[in-house]
Amino acid sequence: MSPSGLLLDQTLAVSQRLLLEQWRQRRGLIFWVVFPAAMMLLFGLVYAHNANMRAGLDAAAAGILMGAALFFSCLGGTVSIIAAERERRTLRRLLASPLHPAAYFLGVVLAQMALAAAQVLMLYSIAWFIGARYHGSLLLGGLILLLSVFVYVGMGFFLGAHFARRSEEVVVALSAIGVPLLVLGGTFFPLEIMPAAMQTAAQLNPMLHMNQAFKGVAAYNFGIAELRFELTFLFVFCAISLALGLKSYRYLLLADQKI
Amino acid sequence: MTAALRIDGLYKRFGERQVLNGFSLQVERGEVVGLLGPNGCGKSTVLNIICQLLQADAGQVQLMGQPIMEKSTHVRARIGYCAQESGLYPDLFPQENIQFFARLYGVPAAQRSARVAEVMERFSLVPYMATRTGLLSGGWQQRLSLAVALVHRPELLVLDEPTVAVDVQARMDLWRLIEGLRDSGTTILLTSHHLAEAQRLCNRVALMRDGKVAVEGSVPELISRVPGQAVAKIQSEDKQAVIQRASDLGWPVRQHAGKISLFLPHHLSLREVVDALDGAKASAVSVDPVTLEDAYLELVGDSTGVPKIL
C-alpha cells in the first residue's frame, strides 16, 4: 500500500471506529441531540415572547449551533476521545502501531464532521419550525462549519492531551478553559459591550470568528468578501489546529511514558 | 543468517534512576526468548524501546539487521505488540477490533477479511463474534489482544507480561496458544513474572539485574548451573540444626524468604531426606526437581537481588 493510501485508509478506519462506538453508546448520542434541541426550543420561546427580538432569531440559531452544539460535541467529544484512549489503555496500542498522527487527527475530524452534519440538520429543522431561517450560501456555510470542526478538534486534542488524563477531568477541562473561551467568543454577550482589552483578546479566540462567520452567512447572507477577515482567521487557526493536534499526539506518547 | 533482534548497549535513565545500564540481547529467528527479573528492573523499558514507545539514551536496536532507533512507522509495522492490559475497544465486536488494527497496520484490503477470519479461527474467537469485547472475560480479551497483535503477520512478536492479569485457567489457555506460535516459528520476546511460564514457553531466557542481562541461556543450561539435581525445601523451628546437618552431608544450602533450600546431589525421596537430616526437626519438607525458579534465585538472587548463600 502506498504511504498516501495507507494514510487515507488509517484516517477512514479511525473515523469509522469512532462513529461505530458513538452509535453503540447511544446515551452520548442522545445528549448530542437533546442538548442543542433544548437550547433551540428555549431560545425560540424567548424570542417568540418578545416581538421586538424576533429579528435576532436567525442569528440565535447560528450561535446555538456554533456555541452550544459544536462546542460540546466537537470540542468536548474530542477531549473525551483522548481521555478514553488513555483510560482504556488503547493509546499504547495506537502509539505502538504504524498509525500516522495526521491520520488519527483527520480521522477524529472526519467523525466529528459526520456528527456535526447530523446536528446541523436536526437543529435547523427545529429552528425552521420556530421561525428561524438560513439566508446565505449553503456552500459557504458548509465551509465555515468544516473549518470550525477542524479548529474545535485541534483545541480538543490540546485540552485532552494536557488536561484530561481521566474521563472525570473532561468536564473540568471544558469548564475551566472551554467555557471562558465561549464567553470571549461572543456567545453570551455581543463583542461591542465588552471592555476594549477583552475585545482585543477576543480577536485571538477562534470561537469569535466561527460565531461571526457563521452568523454572517446564516443570518445576514454575507458572502466571502464580507467575511474575508473571519475566513482568513479560521484558515490560520486550522493550520494551527493541525500543528496542535500532531504535537499533542506526540505529547501523549511522552505523557504515557510517565504513567 | 542475521538475528531477528539484536540489542547492543542500551542505556535509559528516568530522572535519577538508571533503569537500563548497557542492556544487550540477541534473539534468533523463530526463537522465543523470555526476559525475567524483579519488578522495576527494566524489562518493560526494553520492550517499550523496541516498540518505539520510548527512546533510549544510548545503544542500538536492530530488527532483521536494520537499525530501528529512529522513529519509523515502517519499523512499527513489522512488530506485533501485546501488553498486560488488552488495550482493545470495548464497544466493538472482536472481529471489528482485529479489522481496525489490520487497517492501521496496512494489511491490504483484499486480504483483510481472510486474515481476520484466520486469526479469529486460530484463537477460537468465532463463537464470540456477537459478543462485545468489553463483555469478554479477561482471558478472552487477552486472547483477542494476541490475535490483534498477529493479524499483520509481524516478524517479531513482543509480549509484555501477557498473562499477568488473567486467572489460572486462562493463563494455561494462553500458554497453549503461545506454544502453538512458538512451534509455528514465530519469533517472540516476552517478559514475565511467572518463572514457570518462561520455563514452559521459552527456548532461552535472559535474567536481568541492575539494568542489564545478568545471565542468559536455555532453561536446561541455567538449571544445570544450580549445584544439585533436586531441591529440598525445608521449614524448621531449628534452622541452625538443619543447616549444620546439611553442611555435614555436603549439600549446598540457600535461604530465601525464611525457607531453607538444600540442593541434593541426586533425586532423593522425602523419607530419605528426612532420615538424612537425622534429628534436625523439620516442620515441612518438599523435594522437587530443580526448576528455573531455583536457578533464578541461585544466579540472580531474590527480590533484593542478592542470593543468600550459606
Q: Tell me what the pLDDT averaged over chain B comes to.
A: 87
Does position B43 have pLDDT exceeding 80, yes or no? yes
Most confident listed range (A24-28, A102-106, A179-183, B226-230): A102-106
Number of Cα atoms under 13 Å in the Cβ half of residue B168: 1
Q: Taking each helix axis from N to C terminus, what angle separates B138-150 and B94-104, rounded to the nearest 10 degrees? A: 30
* pLDDT range class, residue B281, cuts 50, 70, 90: confident
Does position B303 have pLDDT exceeding 60, yes or no? no
* Euclidean distance between CA atoms B106 and A236, whole angstroms: 32
Closest approach of B38 to chain A, Cα-based (Å) = 19
Least Cα distance to B297 among B203, B227, B246 occurs for B227
Query: CB neighbours (10 Å) of residue A147?
Result: 23
Same domain, residue pair B183 and B243: no
**With b meaning 16 or more CB within 10 Å and e meaning fewer, what string describes B50-69?**
bbbbbebeebebbbbeeebb
pLDDT for the residue numbered B302: 58
Does position B284 have pLDDT exceeding 60, yes or no? yes
Here the ipTM equals 0.88
Does position B89 have pLDDT exceeding 90, yes or no? yes
Same domain, residue pair B59 and B157: yes
Question: pTM of this prediction?
Answer: 0.86
B66: which strand partners? B63
Closest residue in B to A104 (Cα) is B104
Residue type, A147: L
Is residue B296 in a domain?
no
pLDDT for the residue numbered A72: 86
Same domain, residue pair B105 and B232: no
* pLDDT range class, residue B306, cuts 50, 70, 90: very low
Residue in A88, A92, A99 nearest the CB of B53? A92
* Chain A interface includes B118 (CB < 8 A): no
Closest residue in B to A91 (Cα) is B87
Question: In percent, how much of chain A has pLDDT > 90?
Answer: 40
Same domain, residue pair B32 and B154: yes
Closest approach of B272 to chain A, Cα-based (Å) = 52
Distance linking the first and last C-alpha atoms of chain A: 34
Query: CB neighbours (10 Å) of residue B17?
Result: 10
Which residue has better confidence, B242 or A187? Answer: B242
Does position A36 have pLDDT exceeding 80, yes or no? yes
Is residue B200 in a domain?
yes
Looking up cell 511467572 gives B194
Same domain, residue pair B113 and B249: no
Closest approach of B116 to chain A, Cα-based (Å) = 15
- The 10s digit of each residue's pLDDT in A38-80 is 888 888 888 878 877 777 888 888 888 888 888 888 988 999 9
Interchain contact, B103 vs A9, CB within 8 Å: yes
Give the A:B interface size as CB pairs under 8 Å.
Answer: 75
- Of B196, B218, B240, the last residue of a domain is B218
Q: Tell me what the pLDDT averaged over chain A comes to.
A: 87
Same domain, residue pair B213 and B239: no
- Of B201, B218, B235, the last residue of a domain is B218
Closest approach of B85 to chain A, Cα-based (Å) = 7
* pLDDT range class, residue B295, cuts 50, 70, 90: confident
- Domain hosting residue B251, numbered range: 227-289
Q: Which residues of A touch B87 (CB under 8 A)?
A: 88-90, 92-93
Interchain contact, A92 vs B79, CB within 8 Å: no
Give me the numbers of helices (H) and strands (E) for chain A, helices first please: 12, 0
Count of the separate structural domains present in chain B: 2
Distance linking the first and last C-alpha atoms of chain B: 45
Q: Quote the radius of gyration of chain B (alpha carbons, Å).
A: 22
Q: Of A17, A19, A20, A22, which to mutate for an interface test with B (greatest number of B Cβ within 10 Å)?
A: A17
Residue window 68-107, chain A: list those with CB within 8 Å of chain B.
88-90, 92-100
Query: CB neighbours (10 Å) of residue B169?
Result: 10
- The 10s digit of each residue's pLDDT in B145-157 is 999 999 999 999 9
pLDDT for the residue numbered B234: 83
Same domain, residue pair B206 and B245: no
pLDDT for the residue numbered B65: 87
Is residue B310 in a domain?
no
Q: For B18, list phi and psi in degrees, rounded to 5.
A: -85, 100
Q: B138: domain CATH number?
A: 3.40.50.300
- The 10s digit of each residue's pLDDT in B46-84 is 999 999 888 899 999 999 888 886 667 788 889 999 988
pLDDT for the residue numbered B69: 63
Q: Quote the radius of gyration of chain A (alpha carbons, Å).
A: 19
* Chain B interface includes A176 (CB < 8 A): no
Does position B110 have pLDDT exceeding 90, yes or no? yes
In angstroms, how far apart are the furthest CA atoms of chain B?
Answer: 75
Is residue B306 in a domain?
no
Is residue B180 in a domain?
yes
Grid coordinates given for A26: 447511544
Looking up cell 528455573 gives B292
Is residue B305 in a domain?
no
Same domain, residue pair B232 and B123: no
Same domain, residue pair B133 and B280: no
Interchain contact, A96 vs B106, CB within 8 Å: no
pLDDT for the residue numbered B292: 85
- The 10s digit of each residue's pLDDT in A80-118 is 999 999 888 898 899 999 999 999 999 999 999 999 999
Closest residue in A to B52 (Cα) is A96
Interchain contact, A257 vs B48, CB within 8 Å: yes
* Chain A interface includes B20 (CB < 8 A): no
Same domain, residue pair B247 and B266: yes
Residue in A10, A93, A257 nearest the CB of B103? A10
Same domain, residue pair B243 and B191: no
Is residue B181 in a domain?
yes
* pLDDT range class, residue A259, cuts 50, 70, 90: very low
* Chain A interface includes B19 (CB < 8 A): no
Residue in B86, B104, B148 nearest the CB of A98? B104
Q: B236: domain CATH number?
A: 3.30.70.260
Q: Which residues of B touch A9 (CB under 8 A)?
A: 103, 106, 109
Same domain, residue pair B37 and B147: yes
Once rounded to an integer, what is the mean pLDDT over residues A182-199?
Answer: 82
pLDDT for the residue numbered B305: 44
Which residues fall within 8 angstroms of residue A184, CB to CB, at 6 or more apart?
A198, A201, A202, A205, A207, A208
Is residue B253 in a domain?
yes
Q: What is the DSSP string of A96-119?
A: HTT--HHHHHHHHHHHHHHHHHHH
